Amino acid sequence: MVKEHQLKLHNSLSGNKETFVPINQEYVGMYVCGPTVYSNVHLGNVRTFMSFDMIYRYLRHLGYKVRYVRNITDVGHLLDDSDEDKISKKARLEQLEPMEIVQKYTVDFHEVLRKFNNIPPNVEPTATGHIVEQIEITQELIEKGLAYVSNGSVYFDVKKYNDQGGDYGVLSNRNIDELFANTRVLDGQDEKRNPQDFALWKQALPEHIMRWPSPWGDGFPGWHLECTVMSTKYLGEQFDIHGGGMDLKFPHHECEIAQAKGAYGHSPVTYWLHANMLTLNGQKMSKSTGNTILPEELMTGNNEFFDKGFSPMVIRFFMMQAHYRSMLDFSNDALLASEKGYSRLMEAVKTLENLQPSGSSSVDIKQWVAKCYAAMDDDFNTPILIAHLFDAVKMINSIKDQTETIHPDDLIRLNDVFKAMIVEVLGLKEEQMAGNEDKLDGVVKMLIEMRKQARVDKDWALSDQIRDQLAALGIVLNDGKEGTTYTF
Amino acid sequence: MVKEHQLKLHNSLSGNKETFVPINQEYVGMYVCGPTVYSNVHLGNVRTFMSFDMIYRYLRHLGYKVRYVRNITDVGHLLDDSDEDKISKKARLEQLEPMEIVQKYTVDFHEVLRKFNNIPPNVEPTATGHIVEQIEITQELIEKGLAYVSNGSVYFDVKKYNDQGGDYGVLSNRNIDELFANTRVLDGQDEKRNPQDFALWKQALPEHIMRWPSPWGDGFPGWHLECTVMSTKYLGEQFDIHGGGMDLKFPHHECEIAQAKGAYGHSPVTYWLHANMLTLNGQKMSKSTGNTILPEELMTGNNEFFDKGFSPMVIRFFMMQAHYRSMLDFSNDALLASEKGYSRLMEAVKTLENLQPSGSSSVDIKQWVAKCYAAMDDDFNTPILIAHLFDAVKMINSIKDQTETIHPDDLIRLNDVFKAMIVEVLGLKEEQMAGNEDKLDGVVKMLIEMRKQARVDKDWALSDQIRDQLAALGIVLNDGKEGTTYTF
């Protein structure tokens, strides 16, 4: 059963917030463009995937049965002005086979997302796993006259598509007629009829390692095609939500719409959602300027931008403090503030567990619950939700201090929604603090010192008590020449 | 540089231990049959993958550059006497799309192997990712007259293969002529010419969801074919090591040899390695009799066979105490004994760090090192290696107690090899003991009690000291009406 709700989401297609109406009542099909696995996943991508993880979580929380598909792009698409693709280039640099590169960075990707407590998607298809289907749809588009073969490659004919009523440009709001009028005429060297045309299938040059046979000779699929094939294979020709980073809106998603409309005759997606970018200390993140940081470096503190490392949950909390469609700037001060906020929030979860109810409530929990849902229903407004959660933190602490009171029914309601929003929706969890090992070591050493003092004081009872109680906890003291050590 | 060594391994093909000579000097190609992802990985499979993880680790430790390929079987092969395949059946039972089943159990598989500290393979190809290649090799075998089309399916003609000089039966040591002489004649209903023939491609019935177009109509590849295609694609037509569980020797690996010899004209693999099975309390593990346990259940203790849960590292250590080609019985007592042994071993790692060297050695470290390598070089004899490691534990403790002495050079040698064998080769690591949280809680509560007593005794100095020292460790005491609590 889906909870009663009034979810609105910002549709990039219309530029407006629209009421969410799934195609099949309680079922939701959601496709998100996954990573190209030729390098460590960067922080901006992590934010995109975390944003859609939150959206997936909220839809599930509302009671929808969501089929969430996120692909792995394991065919390395061509770099600009180069015949070499990204994965092959990395394979050459690292002296590995392309599929070793794919495996190495797929493992990294999964590992990083696991640390950030992202739920794996329901289907995680790969481009190489759908070569047959990509060849099929390319043939279909050729048969429909919307694609043409040129020198062993196949291109989508954007002009013809638009001339026949297509709407290439609809998502990115580009006036394509103008684009056609203003672009240079191709010099005849190009295989393409028009610069706007994009590859469905590329001929493999002799040096290409990743290649498959096709009706047009050995080659490999164009990047845009795989998402059309995999989204429709697992979600149907028309599905509810398609997500991705803002940078994919054009040309990638624009091309997806054209391919699907061309092949199936209708628009594939009801709601297009795009997550915004990150900056680092106010500047665009960029490998070439060095203004960039890997998730792992942010966690360990092994980097030049931050004073210390931040735990995955603090980073997640920090990201959730911004709306997914807003820019977000990473800085030392902002993360330190989030670290404090996160601790306060998780403290309140514990305090809540021990709250004592009263005969009546002096706090308005019903209204608070309504506000939380209103925030999330407003295009997944997590920063507003978090503001409401901190209102609850205040309430919880006031109830604990007995300056406010809460009725048992309200306490149950507060407990349910507070935890659901933190754990289920925002995906935050109690950290296994890395520092616990140190704390335990420190505390045991405190007791060893106290026992030493007790022995100096000839307080044998205390000395034995410390040793025996520690032993009961599985901590064995060993008195040696160079002092007392302990083992578990 | 590969270390000097004399590795011998048991080749299932000859039934003998043979000296290991890789095809390309320091490079080793190793393929291991991975899981069919339609259910939680079972403990027997975990043992197989852990055995090859140890083999992979030892080869790397010797200095070989190993390309380790382990596939994911995500096409669900047919159940006996059924037109339904395993993945589709599970999809129907769980009301999921087949690729959701694949994803669910691939995630489980990776998660379980990660807990057991297995290193991911270098390439992890999927059957669905190699449909094109499987169709190609099927065509090749048809063209060579070694396969025939029958009713939209394609079968490998075992009799013809053997009549033309093939050696089907070579791995499993079966006399195929006898087999042909003794098997019933097919009743004409069967699509196959002989019962020994096996499917390269199966026609998809209308109810089959997993299907691809082919020259013989819609269908799906036969199980044996994917391993031939994926092993040779990533390791070449001839490679060094092929591993798998004992149960795969026939027919799976036998068919792989026939397919590769048929298609490429030579034997694909130099060394065939097979890992042995598990029993539980002396009985065969079997879902139907209920004598079975999942890795997760063994870790949590949530099962009817064991008194408590065992950590992944204890289970790994236990498995390493048996030779990979021997049967291994899981029982409560055996695991409890391993738990103690594992603790002793890891204690010794710590003790070793603080050992003081002397002017000379009373222990023979060179001989000990030679014994460790001799054990591993003898077909990866981990139980013998572990016996030598415990000899080292004795030495380490004797040196600590100053009943033995060690020269600085020997100490370095002992330290290097002891840790390398434990960490790199056996893949054991210090556990993040689950109990540490409890220990920390217990110890902090001890200090709270001691502070309470100090306050009763009006020993304010001690009371403050406890509070302040805990605060310095990041543990904050909160005195309330109902006693003192603490927060981090």
Measured CA to CA, the distance from residue B446 to residue A469 in angstroms comes to 8
Task: List chain B residues with CB under 8 Å of A136.
Answer: 213
pLDDT higher than 60, residue B194: yes
Measured CA to CA, the distance from residue A316 to residue A113 in angstroms comes to 11
- Residue B208's pLDDT is 86
CB within 8 Å of chain A, chain B residues 16-55: none
- Residue B402's pLDDT is 95
Between these two residues, B84 and B129, which has the higher pLDDT value? B129
pLDDT higher than 90, residue B113: yes
Predicted confidence band of residue B471 (pLDDT cuts 50, 70, 90): confident
What is the spatial order of strands in the sheet that B278-280 belongs to?
A: B283-284, B278-280, B328-330
With an 8 Å Cβ cutoff, is B123 touching chain A?
A: yes
Predicted confidence band of residue A290 (pLDDT cuts 50, 70, 90): confident
Task: List chain B residues with CB under 8 Å of A432.
Answer: 432
CA atoms within 13 A of residue B77's CA, in its CB half-sphere: 17
- Residues in Cβ contact with B209 at an 8 Å cutoff, skipping those fewer than 6 apart: B88, B91, B97, B98
The candidate with the shortest Cα–Cα distance to B71, out of B97, B32, B27, is B32
Measured in angstroms, the CA of A244 and the nearest CA of chain B are apart by 21
- Residue A226's pLDDT is 96
With an 8 Å Cβ cutoff, is A122 touching chain B?
A: yes
With an 8 Å Cβ cutoff, is A483 touching chain B?
A: no
| β-strand pairing of B27-32 with B65-70 | parallel
Q: Report the residue of chain A nearest B463, measured CA to CA.
A: A450
Q: How large is the ipTM?
A: 0.85
Predicted confidence band of residue A184 (pLDDT cuts 50, 70, 90): low
State the CB neighbour count (10 A cutoff) for residue B158.
Answer: 26
The predicted-structure confidence for B330-382, as pLDDT tens digits, reads as follows: 999 999 999 999 999 999 998 998 899 999 999 999 999 999 999 999 999 99
The predicted-structure confidence for A369-425, as pLDDT tens digits, reads as follows: 999 999 999 999 999 999 999 999 999 999 999 999 999 999 999 999 999 999 999
Task: Please indicate whether, in this complex, the C-beta atoms of A131 and B132 are within 8 angstroms of each other.
Answer: yes
Measured in angstroms, the CA of B473 and the nearest CA of chain A are apart by 6
pTM of the model: 0.87
- What's the mean per-residue pLDDT of chain B? 92
State the CB neighbour count (10 A cutoff) for residue A94.
Answer: 12
State the CB neighbour count (10 A cutoff) for residue B464.
Answer: 13
pLDDT higher than 70, residue B436: no
pLDDT higher than 60, residue B432: no
The label of the residue with tokens 């330290």 reads: B415
pLDDT higher than 90, residue B81: no
Task: Please indicate whether, in this complex, the C-beta atoms of A439 and B234 are within 8 angstroms of each other.
Answer: no
Average pLDDT value for residue range B405-426: 97
- State the burial class of residue A203 (Cβ atoms within 10 Å of its Cβ: 0-12, 13-18, 19+): buried
The tokens describing B4, both together, are 């000097």
Determine which helix (DSSP H) or strand (DSSP E) holds B135, and give its type and residue range.
Answer: helix B131-143
Task: Please indicate whether, in this complex, the C-beta atoms of B123 and A103 are within 8 angstroms of each other.
Answer: yes
Average pLDDT value for residue range B442-453: 88
pLDDT higher than 70, residue A183: no
Task: List chain B residues with CB under 8 Å of A96.
Answer: 122
Task: Please indicate whether, in this complex, the C-beta atoms of B433 and A469 are within 8 angstroms of each other.
Answer: no
Measured CA to CA, the distance from residue B292 to residue B42 in angstroms comes to 9
Task: List chain B residues with CB under 8 Å of A442.
Answer: 472-473
CB within 8 Å of chain A, chain B residues 445-464: 446-447, 450
The tokens describing A435, both together, are 């520092």
- Residue A61's pLDDT is 97
Probe site for chain B from A37, A100, A463 (most B CB atoms < 10 A): A100
The tokens describing A318, both together, are 């920090």
Task: Please indicate whether, in this complex, the C-beta atoms of B97 and A436 are within 8 angstroms of each other.
Answer: no
Task: List chain B residues with CB under 8 Å of A440.
Answer: 436, 439-440, 443
The predicted-structure confidence for B160-186, as pLDDT tens digits, reads as follows: 999 999 999 999 988 877 777 776 665
pLDDT higher than 60, residue A433: no
Task: Please indicate whether, in this complex, the C-beta atoms of A100 and B120 are within 8 angstroms of each other.
Answer: no
The candidate with the shortest Cα–Cα distance to A399, out of A352, A365, A345, A359, is A352
Average pLDDT value for residue range A133-155: 97
Enumerate long-range contacts of B171-175, CB under 8 Å, 24 or more apart: B171/B12, B171/B13, B171/B249, B171/B250, B171/B253, B171/B254, B171/B257, B171/B272, B172/B249, B172/B250, B172/B251, B172/B253, B172/B254, B173/B15, B174/B250, B174/B254
With an 8 Å Cβ cutoff, is B136 touching chain A?
A: yes
Enumerate long-range contacts of B473-482, CB under 8 Å, 24 or more apart: B473/A438, B473/A439, B473/A442, B473/A443, B473/A446, B474/A435, B474/A439, B475/A439, B475/A443, B475/B444, B477/B448, B477/B451
Measured CA to CA, the distance from residue A378 to residue A398 in angstroms comes to 29
- What's the mean per-residue pLDDT of chain A? 92
Measured in angstroms, the CA of B103 and the nearest CA of chain A are apart by 6
The predicted-structure confidence for B319-328, as pLDDT tens digits, reads as follows: 999 999 999 9
What percent of chain B stands above pLDDT 70?
97
CB within 8 Å of chain A, chain B residues 393-432: 432
Average pLDDT value for residue range B439-462: 88
CA atoms within 13 A of residue A175's CA, in its CB half-sphere: 4
- Residue A66's pLDDT is 97
- Residue A335's pLDDT is 96
The tokens describing B190, both together, are 């069967």
Between these two residues, B239 and A291, which has the higher pLDDT value? B239
The tokens describing A181, both together, are 């009028």
Task: List chain B residues with CB under 8 Å of A123.
Answer: 97, 99-100, 102-103
Task: Please indicate whether, in this complex, the C-beta atoms of A446 and B470 are within 8 angstroms of each other.
Answer: yes
The tokens describing B74, both together, are 């995500």
The predicted-structure confidence for B132-149, as pLDDT tens digits, reads as follows: 999 999 999 999 999 999
Average pLDDT value for residue range A322-334: 97
- Residue B435's pLDDT is 54
